[in-house]
Chains A and B, each alone.
Chain A
Amino acid sequence: MGIQVQSLSKRYGRTWAVRDLSFEVQPGRVTGFLGPNGAGKSTTMRSIVGLDRPTTGAALIDGAPYARLRAPLREVGTLLDARAAHRSRRAVDHLRTVAATHGFPAKRVDEVIGLTGLESAARVKAGKFSLGMGQRLGIAVALLGDPHTLILDEPVNGLDPEGVTWIRGLLSALAAEGRTVFLSSHLLSELALVVDHVVVIGRGRLIADAPLMTLTSDAGRTLEEAYIALTRDAVEYRAGDADGARS
């Protein structure tokens, strides 16, 4: 059970964003998804939830392809973009449109608004939201169906310190309840506080799939050091290459 990615490949035009990628995300723990910019993390997540059609390979969630789920939001909560609501629509209406597809009661919309701390912003148009408020709204959408699996693409991005602490606690609690939690992030020191397991990819291929402990304390280094060592050859976009050439 959990998420199974099986020989997944995705090509856009002539670029392979993901190439023959296989790994599993187990329930009951928080799994971090790491990799340099353009490594294929978002592409992998979009393929898992059926928004992108894989070129080859497949992904299963608790044994079924996402498109086969009869009540997808009750099984899987997904956050992909911080700005995913119409600018002219109020946050509460955005949530209502999503809730209506599954027939969730109005009470549930109020609950996730409370959970994400958006009470005072619920009747504000989403176009007026800051990055962090948009992120909270996205998390509210992901939690709407009380799902068993959470797939979150850079959920910490833009959250204030209080929000970061809150989401860390939330993710740990969800995993402790036996749910599958899969999140990508570039904030490694934050991530090290919450993940149990790490999947690292580079240039669309798997680099590492290991418990956090194996990568860090057992090897006597921080997650950041481990990550840099692992992805040294897979970084595509590196700042200051000109400086590097001079020194």
Chain B
Amino acid sequence: MSAAATGAATSTATGASSVSVARVVRAEWTKFRTLPSNLITVAITFVTIVGLAGVLLAASDDGGTALAPVDLLAGVSWAQFLPAVLGIVAICSEWAAGTSRVTFLAVPTRWPVLAGKVAVVGVVTFVAGAAAAAGALAMGAAAGVDVGADPALAIRLVSGTGLYLGTIAVFALGVGAIVRNLVGSILTAVGFLWIAPFAAVMIPVPEVHELAGYLPTSAGALLLTPDNPAVELTPWGGYAVLLAWAAAALAGALLTLRVRDV
């Protein structure tokens, strides 16, 4: 439609364009990077992990030679709340800020929006986590920690930190899409990721303890610990359990998006 009223040669301006998943991913990336708070959250995640490694190294008398590589990642359990918040904010802010209608008017099939957010939040938190772990280990190596003794473990710790944080962010994103309300989503995610593992320890029933090992953070954290034959799950087995939680949350999110009004 040639258009005097809506501005010049607009037919050439918009002519061949249509919605694709790749374009929705790009739109979600634009959304992510144009909110300063997201960038700050990513930076704090990185600084927490690297910073805590620095504190541990500085605090150990022998310059760190007594520390194992896994000890350098103590900051991950502190930082892991931030990727979860990032995932929740990515989806819940659509409703809190009133952008949800504009978003789903542009993408009425809805699911590509979720896919785009998963891609952006997942990749950003993976990269931030892996980069922070690499930074922490490099600092340790420079200070005398024997990081090179087990190269396979070092690689697992770096990629594992990225995967662990990225998958927690995606799990939280799924929870956010189901719950929609920002505060409700954060409470639900905190319940699954932190309160449930603590609460399970309080129940003096062995079966409960065993099941608690399959909670998202308990299982996923195995990726960041050395092999332990006493635990039923292998490190990657533990990560697979975390991945299954994320997949279940996303399945619920897709269903919710499909049936609920925007």
Measured CB to CB, the residues of A under 8 A from B are 46, 49-53, 66-67, 69-74, 76, 78, 80-81, 83-90, 93-94, 96-98, 100-105, 107-108, 111-112, 114-115, 141, 143-146, 148, 170, 173-174, 176-179
Contact A146 B14 (CB under 8 A): yes
Residues of chain A within 8 A of B13, CB atoms compared:
104-105, 107-108, 111, 146
Residues of chain B within 8 A of A107, CB atoms compared:
13
The number of A-B residue pairs with CB atoms under 8 Å apart is 142
Any A CB within 8 A of the CB of B36: yes
Contact A81 B14 (CB under 8 A): no
Instruction: Give the complex CA separation of A48 and B8 in angstroms.
Output: 29
Contact A146 B6 (CB under 8 A): yes
Measured CB to CB, the residues of B under 8 A from A are 1, 3-8, 10-11, 13-14, 17-20, 23-24, 26-27, 30-31, 34-37, 93, 97-99, 101-102, 104-109, 259, 261-262
Residues of chain B within 8 A of A114, CB atoms compared:
7
Q: How far is the CB of B36 from chain A (nearest CB, A)?
A: 7
Q: How far is the CB of B242 from chain A (nearest CB, A)?
A: 30
Contact B10 A84 (CB under 8 A): no
Given contacts A70-B18, A100-B30, A103-B23, contact A81 B101 (CB under 8 A): yes
Contact B23 A177 (CB under 8 A): no
Q: How far is the CB of B13 from chain A (nearest CB, A)?
A: 4
Contact A88 B30 (CB under 8 A): no
Q: Sample 23 A-B pairs with CB under 8 A, ordered by A number.
A: A53-B259, A53-B261, A67-B108, A67-B109, A71-B18, A71-B19, A72-B107, A74-B14, A83-B98, A86-B35, A86-B99, A87-B97, A98-B106, A100-B24, A100-B26, A101-B107, A108-B10, A108-B13, A108-B14, A115-B6, A146-B7, A177-B5, A178-B1
Instruction: Give the complex CA separation of A33 and B30 in angstroms.
Output: 35
Choice from A70, A76, A97, A141 contacting B19 with Cβ under 8 Å: A70
Instruction: Give the complex CA separation of A63 and B97 in angstroms.
Output: 33
Contact A80 B30 (CB under 8 A): no
Contact B8 A111 (CB under 8 A): yes
Given contacts A72-B106, A107-B13, contact A146 B3 (CB under 8 A): yes
Which are the 5 A-B pairs with shortest beta-carbon distances?
A: A173-B5, A100-B27, A71-B18, A93-B34, A146-B10
Choice from A51, A66, A104, A173 contacting B14 with Cβ under 8 Å: A104
Residues of chain A within 8 A of B11, CB atoms compared:
146
Instruction: Give the complex CA separation of A176 and B1 in angstroms.
Output: 12
